[in-house]
Amino acid sequence: MRRTLYTEEHEVFRTAFRSFVDRQAVPYVDHWENAGTPDRAFIEKAAKAGFLGFEFPAAYGGLDVADFRYNTVVAEEVVASGMAGDTFSMQNDIALPYLLTLTTDEQKQRWLPRFTQGQLVTAIAMTEPGAGSDLRSIRTTARPTGDELVINGSKTFITSGSTCDLVLALVTSEVGGGELSVVAVENGTPGFERGRPMKKIGRKGQDTAELFFSECRVPITNVVGQLGRGLAHIVANLPRERLSIAVQAVASAQRALTMAAEYAQQREVFGAPLGSMQSVRMAIGEIHTEVTALQEYLDRCVLALNAGDFSPAEGAGAKFLATELQWKVLDRTMQMFGGYGYMEESEIARMWRDARVQRIYGGANELLLDSIGKAVLGGR
């Protein structure tokens, strides 16, 4: 079966993006891992080349390209390049829909041109020290004072947290009837501080940080979407975020399979190639079958998302299946590399480290299964 998701235009875009990544990212992956974040210059170059914010209207510097297949091309090539690449998924897949669909014209004027020029790194801050899976327990408050909101509280594990120019924070607000709201806080706002990048076991090339709000005043015009509707806005965007994670997961599993298959043909054990062992061939065959089948399903999910026909349960299911498969495949293929696979500098080791968190963020997989079960049982 041939994969039919992409057209010739997508493949032209893929070639251009791959060439960009080969020149502008691959030589610097180790440097970014040591620094804990990609260079700002890289983000600006990616934006100028049209790879960030292409979904925004041309009036704001975008390309008016609303087709998630371009996002998945980016995800696949980022994985193939060996970089964590969360800049692309954070900016294009996760933050962009909030800025495109929930903002006023005035907010669009303020933020979108900077985004498409690579000068507005964005973060979404939901998680708090006491509230991760259970977002209803959020304690960061936004107190109305005149035409301002005064924010107090803290967030943790925020992707791009230490480098972002704009954070969309989920807060609880009296003006929203005690319900949650999404409020934008710009870098440099007094009372907004961020911690240094947190030390992680994987995805080291992407910064993750704590954020602190202490009597932090923002104009009420910084509310994104409707006051008191924050949770609904998050829920509406989660299927896309989870599909983005799923696509990266299967791309990673596919890459690990390719690498393991090559290695199994070269590596000799007991006087014969590793791949001549039946158990290794069976493992490769099993992985190939599972990855191919899931890829087909995800391709359908991408088309369904494009058509506006992709449910929260389907997003949760895609993320669950793909990240569980990614972890299984990364662990099994790493085993095939033996001791070489366990070395810090080996690519399979980096992919294995980067894979683990995929089952935790974007909704822990247990939580996802529970939410799918509720949907199947009609909300019980």
> Which residue in 76, 77, 241, 314 is the catalytic one?
241
Please confirm, yes or no, whether 241 is among the known catalytic residues.
yes
Considering only 12-20, 155-163, 239-247, 300-308, which stretch makes contact with ligand FAD by CB under 6 A?
A: 155-163
Q: How far is the CB of 146 from ligand FAD (least distance, A)?
A: 29
Q: How far is the CB of 135 from ligand FAD (least distance, A)?
A: 9
CA 206, CA 35: separation in Å to the nearest integer?
A: 9
Q: What three-state secondary structure class fits 8? A: helix
* Candidate residues 5, 220, 367, 375; the one interacting with ligand FAD per rule CB under 6 A: 367
Residue whose structure tokens are 């992680």: 200
Considering only 22-30, 60-68, 137-145, 157-165, which stretch makes contact with ligand FAD by CB under 6 A?
A: 157-165
Considering only 48-56, 123-131, 294-302, 348-356, which stretch makes contact with ligand FAD by CB under 6 A?
A: 123-131
45-54 burial, b if ≥16 CB within 10 A, otherwise e? bbbeebbbbb
Residue whose structure tokens are 């973060």: 123
Rounded to 10 degrees, the C-alpha dihedral 166/236/247/282 comes to 140
Q: Give the amino acid at 327.
A: W
12 burial (CB, 10 Å; 0-12 / 13-18 / 19+) is exposed
323 burial (CB, 10 Å; 0-12 / 13-18 / 19+) is buried
Considering only 144-152, 200-208, 235-243, 283-291, which stretch makes contact with ligand FAD by CB under 6 A?
A: 200-208
Q: How far is the CB of 365 from ligand FAD (least distance, A)?
A: 7
Q: How far is the CB of 13 from ligand FAD (least distance, A)?
A: 26
- Kindly state whether residue 297 participates in binding ligand FAD, applying the rule CB under 6 A: no
* Candidate residues 140, 208, 248, 254; the one interacting with ligand FAD per rule CB under 6 A: 208
Instruction: Tell me the residue number closest to ligand FAD, measured at CB.
Output: 132
- Kindly state whether residue 127 participates in binding ligand FAD, applying the rule CB under 6 A: yes
CB 225 within 8 A of CB 182: yes
Considering only 12-20, 153-161, 212-220, 307-315, which stretch makes contact with ligand FAD by CB under 6 A?
A: 153-161
Residue whose structure tokens are 């610097």: 28
Q: What three-state secondary structure class fits 141? A: strand
Q: How far is CA 176 from CA 50, 172, 223, 290, in A?
A: 37, 8, 11, 46
Q: How far is the CB of 307 from ligand FAD (least distance, A)?
A: 27
CA 45, CA 313: separation in Å to the nearest integer?
A: 36
CA 380, CA 376: separation in Å to the nearest integer?
A: 9
**CB neighbour list of residue 344: distance below 8 Å, 6 or more residues apart:** none
Report the residue number, 320 or 337, with the smaller CB distance to ligand FAD: 320
Q: How far is the CB of 194 from ligand FAD (least distance, A)?
A: 12
Tokens of 260: 């393991």
* Candidate residues 96, 124, 247, 349; the one interacting with ligand FAD per rule CB under 6 A: 124
- Kindly state whether residue 358 participates in binding ligand FAD, applying the rule CB under 6 A: no
Q: How far is the CB of 94 from ligand FAD (least distance, A)?
A: 8
CA 32, CA 78: separation in Å to the nearest integer?
A: 14
- Kindly state whether residue 68 participates in binding ligand FAD, applying the rule CB under 6 A: no
Report the residue number, 69 or 203, with the smaller CB distance to ligand FAD: 203
- Catalytic residue ranges: 241
Q: Binding residues for ligand FAD, per CB under 6 A?
A: 123-127, 132-133, 157-159, 200, 203, 208, 357, 360-361, 364, 366-367, 370
